[in-house]
Amino acid sequence: MADIDTGIAAFQQWVVRNRHPREADPARAIAGAIAVASPQLLVTQAHIERLVAGANGQPVVSNGKLVGPNARQALAADLAVCHARAGSDKSLQQASLAASPATGCAMVMSLAQRASGFNPSSPAAAGNLNGFLAYVSQLLQCPLFSAELKDEVAPNMSGDWNSVINQIVGYYAGIADQDTQDIRAGLWSLAQAASSTPSTNETQNLFTQNTLNAGTDLRVYLYQSYIDMRTDVEHGGKHSPDTVTNNASLQLWRTILRFDSQRWPAYAPLIANETDASLQSWLNDTTTPQGPVKVNWNI
């Protein structure tokens, strides 16, 4: 009992911090600093900034998805919440929200998203990288979430483009086949651009994924990544062949969070009046309505 009371108190403090994102908050400032200056990022910060500055428009893939064996039940419960909100029966509103942990998960993520300044539907926007990192930090501070994975992958690869692309795609474990195909197609377009303009960096905001898996537990998968490709040609002279070198740098952030569905009913009243976000609105807000971008061949 004491444990859940402590968790509720911590969640209440978290909600207060995130419902007024423009107010001064030392905890948020510290979280933002940690997000941007973690040891794994210090070495590559300049490279990251260059990648983000050079990224071309919207990402190859940017979407919010609901998956898992209980996805339909989650949408049905979320719809019940929306219907209850449209009415005036407070007890029905409270009961429907308590019975829909997926809605609660979406409400928490929407509040953290607004407070951090992260805009998942436009991940190439200026400042959105720091916003993403701050967003993840805010979620990690929420008592309803526990981290199952949080890492940054930054490999450098070289070789023929086919092997390089296979290596890159291999880092996106658990991604839907269609999204994997879109990533691969975007990488080939970028590789072609790099090969056609030697010694020029071709940079792309490659992939942003927000997935809610509704299974026995609720899990959130967050991916954000940038890719930099370059082809260098060393001319061999009259009697020697040219030497062609293909290089790629990947910057990938991966986060997997578990949402505490069992404790959600006790926490629901604390956030009920702070956001009208729903599971469906979260899916809409985290999806870019555009298809794969075209490479800027004039770079």
Q: What is the pLDDT of residues 230-276, one digit of tens each?
A: 888 887 777 777 788 888 888 888 888 999 999 999 999 999 999 99
Q: Is 214 contained in some domain?
A: yes
How many folded domains does the chain comprise? 1
Given a cut of 50, the residues of the chain with pLDDT beneath it are 22-46, 48-49, 51-52, 289-299
Alpha carbon distance, N-terminus to C-terminus of the chain: 61
Q: Is 292 contained in some domain?
A: no
pLDDT reported for residue 93: 97
Query: Residue 7 is inside which H or E element, if any?
Result: helix 2-19
Q: What CA–CA distance (Å, rounded) separates 55 from 48?
A: 10
Domain with 34, as residue range(s), is 2-13+27-285
CA-based nearest residue to 227, from 254, 245, 205, 208: 205
Q: By the 8 A CB rule, do 115 and 138 touch?
A: yes
Q: Is 291 contained in some domain?
A: no
pLDDT reported for residue 23: 46
Q: Is 295 contained in some domain?
A: no
Q: What CA–CA distance (Å, rounded) separates 135 from 124?
A: 15
Q: Is 180 contained in some domain?
A: yes
Q: Is 121 contained in some domain?
A: yes
pLDDT reported for residue 4: 65
pTM for this one?
0.73
pLDDT reported for residue 291: 34
Query: Residue 4 is inside which H or E element, if any?
Result: helix 2-19
pLDDT reported for residue 284: 86
pLDDT reported for residue 216: 86
Q: Is 294 contained in some domain?
A: no
Instruction: Tell me 154's DSSP state.
Output: -
pLDDT reported for residue 55: 52
pLDDT reported for residue 97: 98
The encoded tokens of residue 170 equal 């291999």
